[in-house]
Amino acid sequence: MGIFDSISEAIFGKAANAAPVPPSAPPSTTTTAQAPQTPQTPQTPQAPAPTQPKAAPSVQAVDIAAVLEKAVAAKKQKLHWRTSIVDLMKALDLDSGLEARKKLAKEFNYTGDTSDSAKMNVWLHKALMKKLADNGGKVPADLLD
């Protein structure tokens, strides 16, 4: 599992567990009633139904700020997740050490000098916010510039 996968799981995990609520009971009841009348009609509604529940959980928007604010509130230290990749990772109880951040930089194809950790950290934070947004996260606009 990569560093981004760990971050993503920590943020989206709760939302993913709550999301799968497939509304397949009503269509099957309707399908059963129509089955004796027209055998081909039930097959057509059943094909699109499985596609919709699969797409819904991955598209569900998760409020990144709310999740991270809650995580920070649970800590006994002041963490600035909005500006610091280190604090963001600490808030999620993930390894925020330099090696972990270098691995994340590699996952994100960072081309800068990883020895310049300050520059890398700023880049990582911006890249992470964009990647979270691309994966269904609702990221505050001021963090996506």
Number of domains in the chain: 2
Residues 51 and 82 in one domain: no
Domain boundary among 44, 59, 74: 59
Provide the domain limits for residue 97.
61-143
Residue 29, pLDDT score = 42
Name the pTM for this structure: 0.69
Residue 113 lies in a domain: yes
Give tens-digit pLDDT for 9-27. 999 985 455 444 443 444 4
Q: Are 129 and 46 in contact (CB under 8 A)?
A: no
Helices marked H in the chain: 3-18, 25-34, 40-46, 48-59, 64-73, 85-91, 98-107, 117-134
**How many Cβ atoms are within 10 Å of 51's Cβ, its own excluded?**
9
Residue 127 lies inside a defined structural domain of this protein: yes
Is the pLDDT confidence value at 134 over 50? yes
Ramachandran bin of 93, using left for φ above 0, alpha for ψ from -120 to 50, beta for the remaining angles: left
Residue at 34 is within a domain: yes
Q: Which of 35-39, 50-54, 59-63, 66-70 has the highest mean pLDDT?
A: 66-70
Q: Are residues 46 and 72 in the same domain?
A: no
- pLDDT for 122 equals 98
39 inside domain: yes
